[in-house]
Structure 1
Amino acid sequence: MNTPVDTDYHRPRDPVELWLSRVWQDVLGFGVGIREHFFGIGGNSLDAARVINAVLTELDVRLPLNVMAEHPTVESLAATLREHNGRLAGPLVPVQSGAGTPLFLIHPDDGQVARYARLAQDIGEDCAVHGLQAPGLYGDTAPVDSVPALARAYADEIRAAHPSGPYVLGGAGAGAVIAFEVAALLPDVRLIADLDPGLVEAGTSDVADPEQALADWKARDLVPSDTTPAFVARVTRVRAALVGAVAAWRPSPSTAPVDVFGETANTWPDDVTVRRHQAGDLTTALRTALRTAPR
């Protein structure tokens, strides 16, 4: 199958595409979009073998040696792997490889983290970025409707990935509220960033008609073309659980400030210290927090 070279960046849209994009970044040495041709951007047969080996080692999926010739884009190869994505359904999703102190971004109200991919690139390809996606999006796990419960689960995932601080946390919408509670469970948190939803790429919207919603999401390139109506139903349940969780939330006692970039979607209680910044200050603030922390 011949796939034209596409030099425009198209962000990953689900955990499989995020995972493959990170593997390609590790193999090629730079970030890639999901429609860039592996061999057209410098990949060779040895690099292709490294991708195939990563799929076998990390996903336990054995691919034929010619798979990269047949599926030379992240988008195409992800479609062949999506049925095996059970290992990518957990909360922690690596968004971008990098050295040093990682950034942990918690999902917005729709539970998905792929929309942070372009922000990760803007921060710098040398910075490690991880996303925390909501339970219930993939597989049979039920959504969680408690901010403290989500915070405990995410803090465990963060400690497993990065056992000691410092920690840099953030999120848009519900993600910022959960990040505040995660910060209360971790030592040496350098930043809690509440992101204006306009600073990250558009996510899936509220659902009135599932079929129409799915068609709209596909037209806006927010989900892979093989996404089914069942995913729309899961997003709807996750969104409802998160909205309810934030409405019922009461903040833990904490002196940690929240840094708001742009117009927040959250109403922070009076006992939470809020520092407000211009939207354009976000990437500089994140780079500073990540690069001044001990490594």
Structure 2
Amino acid sequence: MNLAVEPSTDTDHARPRDPAEIWVARHWQDVLGFGVGIRENFFGVGGNSLDAARVINSVLDEFDRQLPLNAVMENPTVERLATLVREENGRALSLPLVEIQSGDGSRPPLFLVHPASGQVGAYCDLARALGDEFPVFGLQPVGLYTDAAPSTTIAAMARRYLDEIRAVDPVGPYFLGGCSTGAAVAVELAGLLTGAGAEVRLLAAIDHDLVDPAAGLVDSALRQLAQGREPAEVLAEWQEHDLVPHDEAPAFVTRSLRVWQANQDAVRDWRPAHHAGRLDVFGGRDRSAGWPPGMTEQAHECPAGPDGTHVQSVADELRTLIG
């Protein structure tokens, strides 16, 4: 039975908010040939029963879990299908490397390290703005989706993420970036890679506000948590602003605070070694520590587009730099 209908005209392209939604959205994009928002109907945008079977097979191949054959029909949005994937495979989705966009093989992978909040979902809009041909990976901290203790130094984070990056691309050249804490970790990663003889062609420090309009709201809530605000209140606020799934528990907010505090401490204590490379800076510096001595900075203007956001102009600059 073919369930295809006319493509949806829904323009609400809400981005994925956690690794489960990122995983489902990426596989839907691979199957459908284009990205969709988390609330767009799979069959309403052109998917059919054979496409749905491919999605189910992807879950089996990736997680060795067999979802019911009618899972996509009964859960026809990224948001709803991700609930099933999350329930079955939460631990697998908590690993540091998050593949945001597969790319088409014509461009090198871009690795973006998490901001202070630890959440890499904000990079989904940037990946989409870059274009489907670009593979994009996020690196998320240990302890955000499990009870494991987060890393507390920039050096420890970089060493952990280095193995993940090399598993994707063993030889380079490498293209790295990040927001807030992620920028510091990217710089440390660049030092490790160049010290081992690899080439780093892009090292980008991106103002978090440029790629995530909700960055200020998240950081403010985390500061309030540190001062005693109730996790349930923060969770309700984040859900109201569509920043986390509606079935998320207050424990996620508590873990977010722990990760945020670890990242704040790590940046405060970071003492970067001399680095002779170039740092491409997008927007202002949103951390107090200085960049490594010897580093050359290249500033990039990223004006707001017609929609009032800066994501597209950041993506345009990155596309030029990556080539």
TM-score normalised over the length of structure 2: 0.86
Q: Which residue of 2 aligns with 1:276?
A: 299
**Pairs aligned (count):** 288
Other structure's SS at 1:258 match:
strand
Following superposition, the deviation at residue 286 of structure 1 comes to 1.2
The partner residue of 1:155 within 143, 152, 162 is: 162
Q: Which residue of 1 aligns with 2:148?
A: 141
Q: Which residue of 1 aligns with 2:54?
A: 50
Once the two structures are overlaid, the 10-residue window that deviates more, 275-284 or 149-158, is 275-284
Q: Which residue of 1 aligns with 2:44?
A: 40
Residue 194 (1) aligns with residue 217 (2)? no
Residue 92 (1) aligns with residue 91 (2)? no
Q: Is the 8 A contact 1:102 1:290 kept in 2?
A: no
CA distance in structure 1 between the aligned counterparts of 2:136 and 2:209, rounded to whole angstroms: 19
Question: Which amino acid is the alignment partner of residue 95 of structure 1?
Answer: I
Other structure's SS at 2:43 match:
coil
Q: Which residue of 2 aligns with 1:285?
A: 317
Moved over 3 A (4+): 4-7
Residue 218 (1) aligns with residue 218 (2)? no
Other structure's SS at 1:279 match:
coil
What per-residue deviation string (whole Å, max 9, x for no partner) do you get for residues 271-294 of structure 1? 133222212453223112333xxx
Following superposition, the deviation at residue 78 of structure 1 comes to 0.7
Q: Is the 8 A contact 2:207 2:286 kept in 1?
A: yes
Residue 168 (1) aligns with residue 175 (2)? yes
CA distance in structure 2 between the aligned counterparts of 1:262 and 1:180, rounded to whole angstroms: 17
Q: Is the 8 A contact 2:17 2:121 kept in 1?
A: yes
Q: Which residue of 2 aligns with 1:16?
A: 20
Once the two structures are overlaid, the 10-residue window that deviates more, 148-157 or 203-212, is 203-212
Question: Which amino acid is the alignment partner of residue 285 of structure 1?
Answer: E
Q: Is the 8 A contact 1:166 1:188 kept in 2?
A: yes
Question: Structure 1 residues 23 and 160 mapped into 2: Cα distance closer, same or farther (>3 Å)?
Answer: same
What per-residue deviation string (whole Å, max 9, x for no partner) do you get for residues 1-31 of structure 1? xxx9544200000000001111111111111
Q: Which residue of 1 aligns with 2:272?
A: 251
Residue 30 (1) aligns with residue 34 (2)? yes
Q: Which residue of 2 aligns with 1:101?
A: 108
Other structure's SS at 2:109 match:
strand
CA distance in structure 2 between the aligned counterparts of 1:270 and 1:279, rounded to whole angstroms: 24
CA distance in structure 1 between the aligned counterparts of 2:291 and 2:11, rounded to whole angstroms: 45
Other structure's SS at 1:185 match:
helix
Q: Is the 8 A contact 1:127 1:290 kept in 2?
A: no
CA distance in structure 1 between the aligned counterparts of 2:31 and 2:80, rounded to whole angstroms: 18
Q: Which residue of 1 aligns with 2:308?
A: none
TM-score normalised over the length of structure 1: 0.94
Following superposition, the deviation at residue 270 of structure 1 comes to 6.6
CA distance in structure 2 between the aligned counterparts of 1:75 and 1:233, rounded to whole angstroms: 23
Q: Is the 8 A contact 2:273 2:292 kept in 1?
A: no
Other structure's SS at 1:212 match:
helix
Q: Is the 8 A contact 1:168 1:289 kept in 2?
A: no
What per-residue deviation string (whole Å, max 9, x for no partner) do you get for residues 248-267 of structure 1? 00112210121111122034
What per-residue deviation string (whole Å, max 9, x for no partner) do you get for residues 108-139 of structure 1? 00011011100111111211100000110012
Q: Which residue of 2 aligns with 1:63?
A: 67
Instruction: Give the fraction of aligned pairs with identical amino acids, expressed as a percent.
Output: 52
CA distance in structure 2 between the aligned counterparts of 1:270 and 1:193, rounded to whole angstroms: 14
Question: Which amino acid is the alignment partner of residue 122 of structure 1?
Answer: A
Question: Which amino acid is the alignment partner of residue 121 of structure 2?
Answer: A
Q: Is the 8 A contact 1:19 1:95 kept in 2?
A: yes
Question: Structure 1 residues 269 and 170 mapped into 2: Cα distance closer, same or farther (>3 Å)?
Answer: closer
Question: Which amino acid is the alignment partner of residue 135 of structure 2?
Answer: A
CA distance in structure 2 between the aligned counterparts of 1:188 and 1:73, rounded to whole angstroms: 41
RMSD, aligned CA: 1.5
Q: What are the residue-to-residue correspondences of 1:100-139 with 2, within 5 Å?
A: 100-139=107-146
CA distance in structure 1 between the aligned counterparts of 2:70 and 2:233, rounded to whole angstroms: 38
CA distance in structure 2 between the aligned counterparts of 1:181 and 1:288, rounded to whole angstroms: 24
